[in-house]
Copies of this chain bind each other. A is one copy, B any other.
Amino acid sequence: MFARVNRNSIRPTTSGLTALSRERVPSSEFHYRRDTEIFGEAEPAEFIYQIIEGAVRSYKLLSDGRRQIGAFHLPGDIFGVENGNVHRFTAEAIVDTTVRFLKRQGVEHVAAGDASVVRDLLFLTTKNLQHAEDHMLLLGRKTSLEKVAAFLIEMDRRSTAAEVMELPMSRRDIADYLGLTLETVSRAISILHNEGILNFVGQTQRRIVLVNRYRLAQVAA
């Protein structure tokens, strides 16, 4: 979930933060080291965030530690938008990450102000909802191979570099996004590799080239 507004935007708006930022004090930037928390679930939501550089995961935990990542946020993405006054996810930097953040007032206050702000919030929330709806179908009804294929397609669509796809997140993060274990994710990627659908670039397993997007889409079903 959480929309990426400055690319592939359905709406002709340039940034999605236009009205939001007009409304507020000058935004500040901040840097988070990898694996540090940006905000925690149930914490008061004071800011709205936009990623300048890096990557963020937002997730929920069960009491015994099981984790479900609801979304990955990439450069340009806005996250931390809440309607109530508390965050519904924990957000962590996956790698060293720079974010711009804007102080938000209470929704009641915002709603009383510029109507375009509310429209921006509605737009963002709808994008997030749409992503969550698609992800429910994936989590509830797709096989492990379909899940991994769908994940790669999503990351490919969202990545700026046309050729090589650089995954900032670990296999464990991917697994917790797809409702799998890291071993199953690894096996699925190996299958796609052996099938000639993707290739690794260099020595790392995080730089991937999609050799055959058509067959990948077929696998994703």
Contact = CB atoms under 8 A, between A and B. Distances in A.
Contacts of A111: 115, 119
Q: Main secondary structure on chain A at its contact with chain B?
A: helix
Interface residues of A, number: 40
Interface stretch (A24-32, A123-131, A187-195): A123-131
Given A118-B115, A125-B122, A125-B126, A10 B84 contact: yes
Contact of A140 (B130, B179, B221): B179
29 contacts: A1-B129, A10-B84, A60-B133, A60-B134, A60-B137, A62-B141, A62-B221, A64-B221, A66-B141, A68-B141, A70-B136, A83-B122, A84-B126, A88-B133, A89-B133, A111-B119, A115-B118, A118-B118, A118-B122, A122-B122, A125-B126, A129-B129, A132-B133, A135-B136, A136-B136, A139-B139, A139-B179, A140-B176, A140-B179
